Amino acid sequence: MASSGSDVPGREPSGAVPTGPVPTGPVPTAVKIVVAGGFGTGKSTLIRAVSEMDALDTDEVMTDVSLGVDDLSGVEGKTTTTVALDFGRITIGGDLVLYLFGAPGQERFRFMWDELARGALGVVILADTRRLNGCFPAIDYCERGRLPFVVAVNAFEGAARYDPAEVREAIGVGAATPVVVCDARRRASAKDVLTALVETALLPSDA
């Protein structure tokens, strides 16, 4: 369907990256924060609590983002596998916009984290005290990649309340990593979690 396009005049030799015309409206630059955690820990809830738009989701085709990932060899033909990614947006100003991406928590989607984490300011790891081990994969990933992260214990109704210090001990993260209790449904609480994360990212990273 595409036209040939081979005769378009005025092209620069390939390799050059010319500056284009400025569009009429402002074009912001984007940054992102990843929201991770085990299944059902409230990732989508937290994103919805702060997003300025209805949280959207998109299907990522597994084989597209998994190119080069060794342990998927053998399933190259499985092109229909998709995983829903949900995300929200916060406009920081005219020239900066923050996206929040929910990272699928299941182990089999680990291959996606590299794209999600690339360039991220940091990671919010949501924890459910009834299933604390659900957040271990995300903690391991952040520690290996030296990504700033906070652990946010989502205070589910009906779950026993834990002191953040107890949770810190149970999951074995260092003192430099904030462990906070939140209610992912409440905007003020979600804002506190995000602020704690970005403040952590501002600290010198030699912990």
- What is the C-alpha separation between 42 and 148, in angstroms, rounded? 20
Nearer to other proteins, 74 or 119 (CB): 119
Of 141, 96, 95, 109, give the one whose Cα is nearest residue 122.
Answer: 141
Least distance to other proteins, CB of residue 111, Å: 14
Distance CA 41, CA 52 (A): 21
Q: Quick check: 101 and 37 in contact, CB under 8 A?
A: no
Nearer to other proteins, 101 or 162 (CB): 101
Residue 78 binds to other proteins (criterion: CB under 8 A): no
Residue from 39, 78, 108, 118 binding other proteins (CB under 8 A)? 118
What is the rounded CA–CA span in Å between residue 143 and residue 187?
Answer: 28
Binders of other proteins in range 47-76 (CB under 8 A) = 50, 56-61, 64-65
Cα 154 from chain centroid?
Answer: 17
What is the distance between the alpha carbons of residues 178 and 195, in angstroms, rounded to a whole number? 11
Encode 47-72: b = buried (16+ Cβ within 10 Å), e = exposed.
Answer: bbbbbeeebeeeebebbebbeeeeeb
Under the binding rule (CB under 8 A), the answer on residue 87 touching other proteins is yes
What's the min distance (Å) between Cβ of 21 and other proteins? 5
User: How far is Cα 151 from Cα 132, in angstroms, rounded to an integer?
Assistant: 11
**How many residues lie near other proteins (CB under 8 A)?**
67
Minimal distance in Å, beta carbon 98 to other proteins?
Answer: 6
Closest separation in Å from C-beta 12 to other proteins:
5
* Residue 70 CB, nearest approach to other proteins (Å): 19
Residues interacting with other proteins, by CB under 8 A? 1-3, 5-6, 8-23, 25-32, 50, 56-61, 64-65, 82, 85, 87, 89-93, 95-99, 101, 115-116, 118-119, 121, 148, 187, 191, 194-195, 198-199, 201-202, 205
